[in-house]
Structure 1
Amino acid sequence: MAKLFLSLHVVAAIIAIGPVTVAASMFPPALRRTHASEPPHEGLGTLRLLHRLCRVYAYVGIAVPVFGFATASALGVLGDAWLLVSIVLTAAAAAVLALKILPDQAREIAALDGGEAEGGSVPPARLAMVTGVFNLLWVVVTVLMIVRPGSTTGV
């Protein structure tokens, strides 16, 4: 059963986390191009698509920790330090996505759409930095999942 859960965990991570990291990373450069475009806001459709991808894959990404907990439980490693650190970093990545990246993207799209943008415009460089932090958190979690300090696999 552990192999099934591990397989589902890895597949969910590839299918869900990969696209959201790419779409979130593409948003700031697309935002810069949209701000600079003539006629104004020519790239708004691209921004909407990238934001929608981030939102949808954020929901799909919930499967990753679900299968991760199932795998950890089946392997009996729920109390291991590397797993606890991974859980905290995964929660941090989810918080950055849900509380900063997605709202900032939505605010930018609303501002470009002519709607009310609460709190004003977010500089693309700041959004790129926050997205970089989000991606870095996933890199560290991935490394921890592979290296597993203290594991008995001999790797």
Structure 2
Amino acid sequence: MNKVLLSVHVLAAIVLIGPVTVAASLFPRYVREKEPGVLRALHRISGGYAVAGLAVPVFGIALGAQMGVLGDAWLVISMALTALAGVLLAAVIVPAQRRTLAAVERDETPTGPNLGMVTGIFALLWAVVVVLMIVRPGSTTGV
């Protein structure tokens, strides 16, 4: 069962979290180029994949419970960083994309958070989570 949960967790992370991170990261570039069609597509990917991406922590928590490691520090930190990334995406990035897209469509100058910086932090959070998942400092479950 662990292998199935791990496989689904990793595949979901690659297929769902990867694209939302890329789409969110590309959005600021196309704001500068004032490409509303591309911005609409990137915003749709960011929002849609964010919802589907909820499968990643669901399967991750199921796997952690199955392995008996939910209390391990590396996993607790990973879950906290995942929650922070999710909040950043849902509360800052996607709403800012929506407002920015509307401003570009009205041919106005977008205002709001620096999306390049915020999406960089979002991507960095995922990078740290991946490293923690691979290295698992203090884990006694083996490599």
TM bucket (normalised to shorter chain) is over 0.9
Q: Give the deviation of 1:50 after TM superposition.
A: 0.3
Task: State the SS of the aligned residue for 2:112.
Answer: coil
Q: Which 4+ stretches in 1 moved above 4 angstroms?
A: none
Task: State the SS of the aligned residue for 1:24.
Answer: helix
| Partner deviation per Cα, 1:19-71 (whole Å, 9 max, x = no partner) | 0010011000110111xxxxxxxx10000000000011001100000000110
Task: State the SS of the aligned residue for 1:77.
Answer: coil
Q: Cα 1:106–1:135, aligned 2, differ >3 Å: closer, same or farther?
A: same
Q: Distance in 1 between matches of 2:67 and 2:85?
A: 24
Q: Give the deviation of 1:153 after TM superposition.
A: 4.9
Pairing 1:20–2:20 present:
yes
Task: State the SS of the aligned residue for 1:121.
Answer: coil
Cα RMSD (Å)? 1.8
| Partner deviation per Cα, 1:75-127 (whole Å, 9 max, x = no partner) | 1101101100001000000011001100000001111223999xx6236xx11
Q: Indicate the residue corresponding to 2:81 in structure 1.
A: 89
Q: Indicate the residue corresponding to 2:69 in structure 1.
A: 77
Q: Distance in 2 between matches of 1:113 and 1:3?
A: 47
Q: Indicate the residue corresponding to 2:45 in structure 1.
A: 53
Q: Percentage identity across aligned positions? A: 59
Task: State the SS of the aligned residue for 1:142.
Answer: helix
Q: Indicate the residue corresponding to 1:150 in structure 2.
A: 138
Structure with larger Rg: 1
Cα pair 2:72 2:139 within 8 Å, conserved: no
Task: State the SS of the aligned residue for 2:33.
Answer: helix
Q: Distance in 2 between matches of 1:154 and 1:121?
A: 49
Q: Distance in 2 between matches of 1:143 and 1:47?
A: 30
Q: Distance in 2 between matches of 1:116 and 1:20?
A: 26
Q: Indicate the residue corresponding to 1:4 in structure 2.
A: 4
TM-score normalized by structure 1? 0.87
Q: Indicate the residue corresponding to 2:125 in structure 1.
A: 137
Q: Indicate the residue corresponding to 1:37 in structure 2.
A: none
Letter in 1 for 2:140: T
Letter in 1 for 2:111: S
TM-score normalized by structure 2? 0.94
- What runs of 5+ residues in structure 2 fail to find an aligned partner? none
